[in-house]
Chains A and B, each alone.
Chain A
Amino acid sequence: MSKFEVPVGPQHPALKEPESFTFVVDGEHIVEVRPRIGYNHRGVEKAAESRTYIQNLYLMERICGICSVAHTTCYAQNVEYLYEKEIPPRAEYIRVIINELNRIHSHLLWLGVAGHEIGFDTLFMYVWRDREHVMDVIEAITGNRVNYAINTIGGVRRDLTNEAIAKARKVLDILEERTKYYRRVAAAEPTLISRVKGIGILKPNDAVRLCAVGPTLRASAIKSDVRKDDPYSAYEEIPFNAVSHDMCDVFSRVLVRVDETLESVNIIRYCLDHLPGGPVRIKLPRSPPAGESVSKVEAPRGEDIHYVRSDGTERPARYKVRAPTLGNIPAVCDMLTSKADYTVNIGDIPIVLASIDPCFSCTDRAIKFVDPRKQKEWIWSHDQLDRYSRRKANP
């Protein structure tokens, strides 16, 4: 059979969000992959610049529907750096607890999706049923299931109640038991292993060269975790291991995420045992002093970077978000290209794409403008964009 193109996306059952990958295939083998991102540009950064710092908390929460708290943590931290103020230790611990609960929820969600992508719907249904427990705990602590609205500038909005702590302890036991069970299933189920082992190889030096982040990088035998390398919140005081596996394939990524879930359970247990007393927030003035700052958080999908520039007013002068999936797109294209020593099949596309835990909607930021009909490409400066958005003049 001759080579032809298979379009995966912008609308395709394997992708839950719009993004386009065009595969050149030879029979069942993939020869080349051409990604095209930018289908879901939502103008988050521009919106952030037209809102006050407090209003932006709600915007940042909604960058991602799954790792929502990672973005608000990153944002709140970033603004607190501008004030050069430390938040109370109890607030730091509560942030860690919510972030880790969020990581458990995200990783379990991913495990289910991964099962679904290889046609193992039973695993999908089971994992998502167990994921309800962690959602319930988060609801007991914060009052919400998806967008928790727990972080605020200067601390957290709610204190932990004793009932919530008791519930969390109970659920952690269930989660630990169930996650260990899934780890056993993943290591023993032959059809599952045959679909993930040796698939989507990303060699360690390629992972570094292509700037992979998070579990994708750690599954390529590189122990890089923002929580360890550049500790924020209370992570410096908490003993935990950065998980890494060295098989460099999808199976390795499954194991990294399952082991991280278990590690998160331990982190939360430690936090609940060593929860400091005192207030959970400090009052900060409405406008931070002029200056700029960068904040990094280990989101469930990897390193999340936020940048802020303040001009002393109540709105940020510039805000920039780099969601982790962006860092993983070059890596996933590398995984999907057949090389001399291994071939990638059409059947592997969904699971390999899913193996970076993509969150395309969070990723899309406008960088360059392309007019495919006129074959024109150009970049607008901030001022030009600003003028264009107000329709003052042709920039």
Chain B
Amino acid sequence: MTEAVVEAIIHIAQILLFPGFLFVIGLAFAYEWIDRKFYAKLQNRVGPLYTGPRGFLQPFADFVKLMAKEDIVPLAADKLLFNLSPNVAFALMLTAVLLLPISSLAGVLSFSGDLILAVALMTFFCIIVFLSGMCSTNRFSAVGAERAVFQLLGYEIPMMLAIVGVALGANSLRIADIVGRQAENLWFIFGPQAIGFGIYAIAVQAELERIPFDIPEAEQEIVAGWLTEFSGRKLAFFRLSRDIELVFVAGLAAALYLGGPLGPVLPGLEPLLYTIYFIVKTIFVLIVLSTVRALFARLRIDQMVSFSWKYLIPLSVLQLLLVRLVV
């Protein structure tokens, strides 16, 4: 009886504290800071500077500031959807990070087919984007929402094909098994899956709506796109969900291609060392993503979709074939 209670408490602590919500939210703020700082360095700027050491607390300060701001709901908006969508987006992303292997070889939640859930949650997020853009009844939001779904048609298929390549390589749809497979053999990035990693890195740029694919919220064209009408707490939660999504896609890339939390370990210190390896690898992915963001101009929506269908999808099919030949 007591054992069961202790186990339940540990499990709840895993979900709420480490490596669950609290840890990931902290990581999300830290990664936003790294992203902004590195992006600024590439552009010959200094980036956040004043809040905390080297501006480390700036993303958190932004969050707190937004929480304190006036929260405006447009008169014509669909109130229920408008109020609900930031919460749903936040909940989706928090659920998604539980699937990531951080301090052990399996995530807090781990079951057969969890890879499918991970991909589905990312797609759900895009649908939330579409709904929140449409329900805010702003013309810029409507255009942004329309673009978000159009963009989904472009990047989702190559991303899924790349992930299918990994699943084929490991012969499993369970993230823990994929990591386990990489523990026995080489990491997937060393081999034909490297193409998949490249495709994944480009596609998530669209998933995260970052340059060159920040089309649904292109500031100069459609103000803030689907986000235009959101302010105060709702905007804060959307931004935080985006940051958590950044952690999630980087973590998923690490798990699928870079061996997840694997690395040389000392007995007894596994959870700590695994967490450190996880952080190092996700920061590597993050830096790749930030570099892509600094290198290009924003594409137009039609150019994005045609780029994706002309180059990304054939490449991902090629990658699948190569994986089949090797395995």
Known contacts A125-B45, A347-B215; A5 and B297 CB within 8 A of each other: no
Q: Does B214 contact A (CB under 8 A)?
A: yes
- Residue in contact with A126 in the complex, picked from B44, B140, B146, B295, CB distance below 8 Å: B44
- Residue in contact with B43 in the complex, picked from A1, A6, A7, A125, CB distance below 8 Å: A125
Residues of B in contact with A, size category: 20 to 34
Q: Mark A317-356, 1 if CB is under 8 A from B, else 0.
A: 0000000000000000000000000000111111000000
Known contacts A191-B296, A195-B297, A347-B215; A6 and B143 CB within 8 A of each other: yes
Interface segment, B48-56, B166-174, B190-198, B220-228? B220-228
Q: Does B324 contact A (CB under 8 A)?
A: no
Q: Which residue of B lies closest to A116 (CB)?
A: B220
Interface size for A (C-beta < 8 A) is 34
Question: What is the bound-complex CA distance between A126 and B42, given in angstroms?
Answer: 10
Least Cβ–Cβ distance between B214 and chain A, in angstroms: 6
Q: What residues of chain B lie closer than 8 Å to A345, measured between beta carbons?
A: 300-302
- Residue in contact with B221 in the complex, picked from A1, A126, A129, A347, CB distance below 8 Å: A347
- Residue in contact with B220 in the complex, picked from A119, A122, A126, A192, CB distance below 8 Å: A119
- Residue in contact with B294 in the complex, picked from A12, A118, A122, A350, CB distance below 8 Å: A122
Q: Does B219 contact A (CB under 8 A)?
A: yes
Known contacts A13-B223, A14-B220, A347-B221; A119 and B44 CB within 8 A of each other: no
Which residues of A (1-33) have their CB < 8 Å from a CB of B? 1, 4-7, 12-14, 25, 27-28
Q: Does A236 contact B (CB under 8 A)?
A: no
Q: Which residue of A lies closest to B140 (CB)?
A: A6
CB of A13 within 8 A of CB of B297, answer no
Q: Does A194 contact B (CB under 8 A)?
A: yes
Least Cβ–Cβ distance between A192 and chain B, in angstroms: 5
CB of B300 within 8 A of CB of A119, answer no
Least Cβ–Cβ distance between A130 and chain B, in angstroms: 10
Q: Which residue of A lies closest to B147 (CB)?
A: A28
Q: What residues of chain B lie closer than 8 Å to A122, measured between beta carbons?
A: 42-43, 294-295
Q: What residues of chain A lie closer than 8 Å to B300, measured between beta carbons?
A: 194-195, 345, 347-348
Q: Which residue of A lies closest to B213 (CB)?
A: A119
Known contacts A119-B218, A122-B43, A126-B44; A12 and B139 CB within 8 A of each other: no
Chain B residues with a Cβ under 8 A of chain A: 42-45, 139-140, 143, 146-147, 211-212, 214-215, 218-223, 294-303
